[in-house]
């Protein structure tokens, strides 16, 4: 009796399959395990995670790791995916030209135009002249409301700007309702005496005048040239519930296009493409380039710095020189990123054009040899680097009930999307494509402005719901779900994720519909794009119509919507597509590890 373990080191998880070879030559699959990968894929730091996964798998059959006769590792580690994001434009506003933010508690509704006047200077007010009063945190809401009520008897007070989060408290004490904006942190920089326009939308709506350049022109009486210069302000205020625009003589507003730079493709058909031409043009250049030897970027530009950072990071991991590290594939995705506006007064952000890039980094060395040596030393067991990842995944996928040769597989992991076609004679054609689950998480995190990668991962993984009472939720598909036991009050009125172990609250106040749309768009941009270009590379005559069956494997194939998304995309080609079920029990996971054990029998 001999125990053989197949180990698949992925970007996100390390998976193990343990098989037993009986004396008659029969192979029995006994157990499997999966844990988070320790360290970066393809480095010695992976050894700790491999040992933990082996221990977990052997524990399921009441055996020790020392009982394993042979450990077989996949050979995909020299190719590692990385991601980066760069914005191509930014809005720059100087000399206090604008405040425009989205506090959760504005009060009142409507538009107002007037001269800015600090509360302490109310004595300077002139009857018949419209004013917008600026109130710092030094004044309590009772004091502020009392002074405004007195002043409103003699002067025309059109609206208020507060530093504290007290708009509703002040409004409740006013004799006449006016639009009020609060939570303006740097209120000391609001220019006293300048003309300003203020707008607060009704609950559930967004502003209309100040998010329109002609609306700003109407309220502040701007000429054609001034209207053109406030366009970036209007753009940055789209979707806000409240805003203020201040007209200052020295104010400078401009939309600055950053030096995006050119991407250089050293390939069979070497070419170059500018980053600001967009993702579609970049991906066409990558497709037309043929076999890519290396990808680099123009020096001292966004894309040049981005690709240099990726190579430098890989060099630090592998210990190799910069010249020995090559980027062999990339996936570019158009997106929008919230960027802090230069010169703004309340930490405002604006959605700016950006490009997300996932890159495949290949080194000259084979770090798996080093991992195998370290593992052999620590376990005292024979360890071999046994097979290429895509080939092993294909062997594992063939254990899915209902499959046959020829068979195409899509292995969708964290850093890369691999495709392979296995023919009846055993011939395998394969490809590695940059971009998978990690790029999706980055796009979700960026577009929603989360600044929390873990939460982005959770949003990618689970469906959404809105808790509308302590006994029912509205799902993202519109379905109403009622519960027998009351929901924890801390979830009331919040958007939540429906995880296996209970609800996860999303702390940021973002509409459920927007989160769902961003999530779906990110998955489609990455996985649909990559699935098509990967399968085209491996398909006979590079024509998808020559592929009849596709099995989806890897961590991302477990996703609750990606497989269905790809099934719809492939339907027009009459391709049978679905999640794999490795060994009839593992679902789409464990394909490579299973293939490593199977390939031992072939060897």
**What DSSP assignment string belongs to 158-190?**
EEEEESSS-HHHHHTT-SS---EE---TTGGGS
Instruction: Provide the CATH number for the domain around residue 370.
Output: 3.30.420.40
Task: Output the pLDDT for position 422.
Answer: 86
Looking at the structure, do residues 64 and 101 belong to the same domain, yes or no? no
Answer yes or no: is 539 within a domain.
no
Answer yes or no: is 202 within a domain.
yes
- Residues 369-384: tens digit of each pLDDT: 888 888 898 888 898 8
What's the 3-state SS for 426-485? CCEEEEEEECCHHHHHHHHHHHHCCCCHHHHHHHHHCCEEEEEECCEEEECCCCEEECCC
Task: Output the pLDDT for position 344.
Answer: 60
Answer yes or no: is 383 within a domain.
yes
Instruction: Provide the CATH number for the domain around residue 150.
Output: 3.50.30.70
Kindly report which listed range (91-105, 405-419, 528-542) carries the lowest average pLDDT score: 91-105
Answer yes or no: is 37 within a domain.
yes
Looking at the structure, do residues 153 and 111 belong to the same domain, yes or no? yes
- Per-residue b/e over 488-514, b at no fewer than 16 CB within 10 Å? eeebeeebbbbeeeebbebeeeeebee
Decide which of 310, 333, 362 is a domain's last residue: 362
Query: When comparing pLDDT for 347 and 552, which is higher?
Result: 552
Sheet holding 407-412, edge to edge: 428-434, 416-422, 407-412, 549-553, 576-579
Looking at the structure, do residues 320 and 223 belong to the same domain, yes or no? no
- Residues 114-151: tens digit of each pLDDT: 999 999 998 899 999 999 999 998 999 999 999 999 99
Looking at the structure, do residues 263 and 219 belong to the same domain, yes or no? no
Looking at the structure, do residues 108 and 246 belong to the same domain, yes or no? yes
Give the chain's domain count: 3
Is the pLDDT reported for residue 248 higher than 80? no
Instruction: Provide the CATH number for the domain around residue 284.
Output: 3.90.470.30
Is the pLDDT reported for residue 11 higher than 50? yes
Decide which of 252, 274, 300 is a domain's last residue: 252
Answer yes or no: is 158 within a domain.
yes
- Residues 270-302: tens digit of each pLDDT: 999 988 788 889 999 998 998 899 999 888 787
Average confidence score pLDDT of the chain: 85
**Using 50, 70 and 90 to split pLDDT, how confident is the model at 269?**
very high
Q: Which residues contact 447 (CB under 8 A, 6 or more apart)?
A: 335, 336, 337, 338, 518, 522
Q: List the domain range (segments joined by +) for residue 34.
A: 1-78+366-399+583-603
Looking at the structure, do residues 223 and 325 belong to the same domain, yes or no? no
Q: Which residues contact 364 (CB under 8 A, 6 or more apart)?
A: 320, 324, 325
**Using 50, 70 and 90 to split pLDDT, how confident is the model at 77?**
very low
Task: Output the pLDDT for position 129.
Answer: 94
Looking at the structure, do residues 110 and 246 belong to the same domain, yes or no? yes
Task: Output the pLDDT for position 117.
Answer: 93
Answer yes or no: is 175 within a domain.
yes
Task: Output the pLDDT for position 576.
Answer: 85
- Cβ atoms of 250 and 231 within 8 Å: the answer is no
Decide which of 334, 362, 390 is a domain's last residue: 362
Looking at the structure, do residues 138 and 204 belong to the same domain, yes or no? yes
Answer yes or no: is 599 within a domain.
yes
Task: Output the pLDDT for position 250.
Answer: 57
Task: Output the pLDDT for position 26.
Answer: 83
**Using 50, 70 and 90 to split pLDDT, how confident is the model at 79?**
very low
- Residues 387-396: tens digit of each pLDDT: 777 788 888 9
Answer yes or no: is 289 within a domain.
yes
Looking at the structure, do residues 279 and 245 belong to the same domain, yes or no? no
Looking at the structure, do residues 65 and 167 belong to the same domain, yes or no? no
Is the pLDDT reported for residue 519 higher than 50? yes
Is the pLDDT reported for residue 493 higher than 70? yes
Is the pLDDT reported for residue 584 higher than 70? yes
Looking at the structure, do residues 1 and 34 belong to the same domain, yes or no? yes
Query: What number is the average pLDDT over the span 209-228?
Result: 88
Looking at the structure, do residues 20 and 57 belong to the same domain, yes or no? yes
Query: When comparing pLDDT for 345 and 590, which is higher?
Result: 590
């Amino acid at each position: 009796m001999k125990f053989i373990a197949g180990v698949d080191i992925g970007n996100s998880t390390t998976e193990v399959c343990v098989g037993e070879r009986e004396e008659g030559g029969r192979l029995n699959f006994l157990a499997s395990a999966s844990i988070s990968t320790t360290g970066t894929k393809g480095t010695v730091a992976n050894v700790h995670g491999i040992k933990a996964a082996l221990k977990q798998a052997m524990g399921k059959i009441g055996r020790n790791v020392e009982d394993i006769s042979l450990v077989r590792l996949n050979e995909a580690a020299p190719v590692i995916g990385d991601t980066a994001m760069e914005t191509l434009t930014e809005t720059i506003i100087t000399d206090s030209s604008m405040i425009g933010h989205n506090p959760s508690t504005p009060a009142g509704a409507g538009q107002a135009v007037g001269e800015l006047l600090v509360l302490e200077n109310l004595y300077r007010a002139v009857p018949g002249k419209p004013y917008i009063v600026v109130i710092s945190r030094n004044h309590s809401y009772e004091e502020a409301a009392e002074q405004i009520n007195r002043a409103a008897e003699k002067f025309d007070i059109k609206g208020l700007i507060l530093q504290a989060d007290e708009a509703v408290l002040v409004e409740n004490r006013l004799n006449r309702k006016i639009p009020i904006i609060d939570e303006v942190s740097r209120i000391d920089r609001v220019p006293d005496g300048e003309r300003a326009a203020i707008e607060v939308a009704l609950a559930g709506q967004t502003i209309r005048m100040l998010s329109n350049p002609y609306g700003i022109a109407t309220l502040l009486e701007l000429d054609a040239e001034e209207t053109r210069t406030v366009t970036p302000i209007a753009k940055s205020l789209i979707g806000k519930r409240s805003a203020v625009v201040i007209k200052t003589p020295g104010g400078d507003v401009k939309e600055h296009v950053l030096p995006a730079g050119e991407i250089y493709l050293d390939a069979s058909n070497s070419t170059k493409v500018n980053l600001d031409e967009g993702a579609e043009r970049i991906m066409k250049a990558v497709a037309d380039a043929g076999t890519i030897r290396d990808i680099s970027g123009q020096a001292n530009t966004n894309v040049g710095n981005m690709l240099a950072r990726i190579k430098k990071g890989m060099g630090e991991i592998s210990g190799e020189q910069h010249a020995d590290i090559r980027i062999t594939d990339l996936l570019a995705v158009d997106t929008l990123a919230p960027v802090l506006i230069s010169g703004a007064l309340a930490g405002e952000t604006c959605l700016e054009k950006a490009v997300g890039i996932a890159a495949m980094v290949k080194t000259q060395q084979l770090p798996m040899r080093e991992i195998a040596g370290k593992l052999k030393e620590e376990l005292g067991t024979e360890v071999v680097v046994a097979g290429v990842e895509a080939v092993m995944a294909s062997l594992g996928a063939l254990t899915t009930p209902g499959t046959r040769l020829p068979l195409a597989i899509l292995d969708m992991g964290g850093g890369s999307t691999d495709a392979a076609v296995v023919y009846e004679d055993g011939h395998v054609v394969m490809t590695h494509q940059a971009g998978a689950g990690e790029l999706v998480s980055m796009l979700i995190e960026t577009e929603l402005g989360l600044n929390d990668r873990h939460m982005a991962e959770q949003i990618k993984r689970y469906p959404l719901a809105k808790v509308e009472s302590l006994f029912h939720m509205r799902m993202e598909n519109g379905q109403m779900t009622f519960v027998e036991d009351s929901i924890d009050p801390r979830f009331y009125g919040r958007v939540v994720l429906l995880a296996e172990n209970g609800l996860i609250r999303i702390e940021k106040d973002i509409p459920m519909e927007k989160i769902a749309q961003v999530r779906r768009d990110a998955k489609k941009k990455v996985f649909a794009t990559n699935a098509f270009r990967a399968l085209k590379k491996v398909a006979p005559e590079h024509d998808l119509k020559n592929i009849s069956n596709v099995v989806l494997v890897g961590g991302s194939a477990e996703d609750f919507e990606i497989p269905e998304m790809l099934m719809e995309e492939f339907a027009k080609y009459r391709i049978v597509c679905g999640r794999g079920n490795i060994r009839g029990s593992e679902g789409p996971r464990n394909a490579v590890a299973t293939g490593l054990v199977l390939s031992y029998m072939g060897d």
